[in-house]
Amino acid sequence: MNYIKYIKSRYNKGNIVERIIYINSIIFILTLFISVIQELYKIEINGILKWFALDHNFSILLSKPWTIISYGFLHADFIHLLLNLITLNFIGNLFIEYFTQKQLLTFYLLGTFFGGILYLLSHNYFPLFEGRSSILIGGSAGISAIFIGITTYIPTYQFKIRFIGFVKLWYLAAIWIGLDILALSGSNAGGHFAHLGGALFGFIYVSRGTTKESNILNIILSVFKTKKRPFRKVYKSPKKSVKKETNTSLTQQQIDVILDKISKSGYDALTQSEKEFLFKQGKK
């Protein structure tokens, strides 16, 4: 019980990166526990994968629409989970140094969403997948969105890697994307299409956004909009402003004449009207 309280305390105190790591880990342990129970007692359990993994069939998605997001919190095995969470830990904590924690969660969720969309499109419209059936699980699409997003923002940022030295962030991102592209010819091509979908979202958001607080939905929509030529408004100065400017100019001329007269002949040389005019101007 104390261990559960400790985990709960760490979760509440942790940042968004740590919370996503905890959620993924707990869900993995839960799925593992259900699998063990099913194997030991030889009973049929409608497991988590059946209800929360993303199926390649569009009709199944319509009956379980939450799977377009929930698949991003499931993992096939411990190595799959470990590699994803290690990457998320390093890249995620770098991400929140430049963006907000709320934005990181948005990147993870929308990266998962767009990764799922590209997975569905590839499975249903690419000849490569004809006759195949599969499900999609894993947080790699969301992590790819975070990875490529922060790389687009600070491409020359350098990591120090032991035995190698300093490596620019965009080199690592290029390797990350390159491996996914090479793996498109393999047995898990759908999963790698999902990774590329998440990466594409991360790139589009950061490259189209101008500030940290840019609205993500507006940026996505702006991709599909055509830019309009800016138009210039011409304003005419009102007559009152011209009159006021003219009066100010005449007043300044009168002051200059009076000051010039004082410099030559002294204050006593001024007429009574000139003295009154100068006195009124001094009170303004």
Report which of residues 187 and 137 the model is more confident about. 137
How far is CA 102 from each of CA 19, 38, 111, 158, 169, rounded to the nearest angstrom? 12, 38, 14, 25, 23
Does the global pTM surpass 0.85? no
Domains, the chain, in order of start with CATH, read 2-222 (1.20.1540.10), 239-283 (no CATH)
Q: Look at residue 174 in the predicted model and tell me its pLDDT.
A: 96
DSSP 271: -
Least confident of 116-120, 187-191, 225-229, 272-276: 225-229
Structure tokens at 245: 């400017």
Is the pLDDT assigned to residue 274 strictly greater than 90?
A: no
Per-residue model confidence (pLDDT) at position 127? 63
How would residue 20 be classed by pLDDT, with cut points 50, 70 and 90? very high
Confidence of residue 126 (pLDDT cuts 50, 70, 90): confident
With a cut of 60, say whether residue 162 has pLDDT above it.
yes
Predicted local confidence at residue 42, as pLDDT = 65
Residue 155, helix vs strand vs coil: coil
69 close to 112: Cβ distance less than 8 angstroms: yes
| Helix 16-41, helix 2-13: angle, nearest 10 | 140
Contacts of 28 (CB under 8 A, 6+ apart): 74, 75, 78, 81
Q: Given pLDDT bands bounded at 50, 70 and 90, which one contains residue 93? A: very high
| pLDDT tens per residue, range 246-255 | 556 667 777 7
Q: Give the pLDDT confidence of 98-123 residue by residue, as tens digits.
A: 999 999 999 999 999 999 999 999 88
Residue 183 backbone phi and psi in degrees, to 5: -80, 0
Q: What share of the chain is helix, strand, coil (3-state, %, to 5)?
A: 70, 5, 25
| Tokens read off for 164 | 């190698």
Angle at 186 between CA 76 and CA 161, to 5 degrees: 70
Higher pLDDT, 214 or 35: 35
User: Is the separation of the CB atoms in 206 and 152 below 8 Å?
Assistant: yes
In the structure, what pLDDT confidence band is assigned to residue 8 with cuts at 50, 70 and 90?
confident
